[in-house]
Amino acid sequence: MKNYTYDAEKLKDWIKKDGIKKFAVQVPAGLMHHAKAIREEFSAFGDCYIYAEPSFGACDFPQKQQIQYVDGVVNLGHARIPNITSERVLFLELYADISPNTLSFECSPEVLGKHTALFTTVQYLPLLPSIKEKLKDAGINAHIGRPGKRTMYEGQVLGCDVSSPCALAGYVDSYLFVGDGDFHPHGVCMQTSKPVFRYRINERKIERVQFDRERFLKKRYGIAYTIQKVTDVGVVVCVKPGQLRMHTATALCDTLRQHGKKAQIIYANNISPAILDYSGFDLIVSTACPRIALEDYINYKLPMLTPQEALLGLGEKKEYEIDQIL
Amino acid sequence: MKNYTYDAEKLKDWIKKDGIKKFAVQVPAGLMHHAKAIREEFSAFGDCYIYAEPSFGACDFPQKQQIQYVDGVVNLGHARIPNITSERVLFLELYADISPNTLSFECSPEVLGKHTALFTTVQYLPLLPSIKEKLKDAGINAHIGRPGKRTMYEGQVLGCDVSSPCALAGYVDSYLFVGDGDFHPHGVCMQTSKPVFRYRINERKIERVQFDRERFLKKRYGIAYTIQKVTDVGVVVCVKPGQLRMHTATALCDTLRQHGKKAQIIYANNISPAILDYSGFDLIVSTACPRIALEDYINYKLPMLTPQEALLGLGEKKEYEIDQIL
Report the CATH number that the domain containing residue B51 is assigned in CATH: 3.40.50.11840
Q: Is residue A325 part of a domain?
A: no
Q: What is the pLDDT of residue A152?
A: 97
Contacts of B64 in chain A (CB under 8 A): 65
How many other β-carbons are positioned within 10 Å of the β-carbon of residue A178?
26
- Check whether residue B204 and residue B252 sit in a common domain: no
Q: Are residues B126 and B189 in the same domain?
A: yes
Among A41, A76, A96, identify where a domain stops. Answer: A96
| pLDDT tier at A277, thresholds 50, 70, 90 | confident
- Cβ contact A266–B66 (<8 Å): no
Neighboring chain A residues of B36 at a CB cutoff of 8 Å: 232, 279-281
Rounded to 5, what percent of chain A is helix, strand, coil? 35, 25, 40
Point out the residues of chain B with pLDDT beneath 70.
Answer: none
Mean pLDDT, residues A69-97 taken together: 94
Residues 63-122 of A with CB under 8 A from B: 63-67, 69-70
pLDDT band at A66 (very low <50, low <70, confident <90, very high): confident
Three-state SS at B230: coil
Considering the domain architecture, whether residues A204 and A225 belong to the same structural domain is answered as no
CATH of the domain at A183: 3.40.50.11850
The answer on B78 and B18 residing in a single domain is yes
Phi-psi region of B166 (alpha: psi -120 to 50; beta: other; left: phi over 0): alpha
Is B189 in the same domain as B231?
Answer: no
- Nearest by CB to A49, which of B50, B52, B265? B265
Please state the pTM of the whole predicted model: 0.91
The answer on pLDDT for A318 being more than 80 is yes
Pick from B158, B220, B206, B164: nearest CA to B186? B158
Probe site for chain B from A1, A74, A265, A304 (most B CB atoms < 10 A): A265
Write down the pLDDT at residue B55. 86
- What is the C-alpha separation between A254 and A264, in angstroms, rounded? 10
Q: What is the pLDDT of residue B87?
A: 87
State residue A278's pLDDT score.
81
Q: Which range of residues forms the domain containing residue B298?
A: 214-313
Residue A273: pLDDT band (50, 70, 90) is confident
Backbone angles phi, psi at A23, to 5 degrees: -140, 155
Position A202 pLDDT exceeds 80: yes
Overall average pLDDT of the A94-119 stretch: 96
Candidates B24, B52, B54; nearest CB to A279: B52
pLDDT at A29 over 80: no
* Domain finish residue from B196, B211, B226: B211
Name residue B72's beta-bridge partners: B23
Query: B19 and B118 in one domain?
Result: no
Residue B107 and residue B203 share a domain: yes
Q: Is residue B205 domain-shared with residue B229, that is, in the same domain? A: no
- B161, B190, B211: which is the final residue of a domain? B211
Please determine, for the modelled complex, whether the ipTM score is greater than 0.90: no
B209, B170, B215, B171: which is closest to B188 by C-alpha? B209
Establish if A326 belongs to a structural domain: no
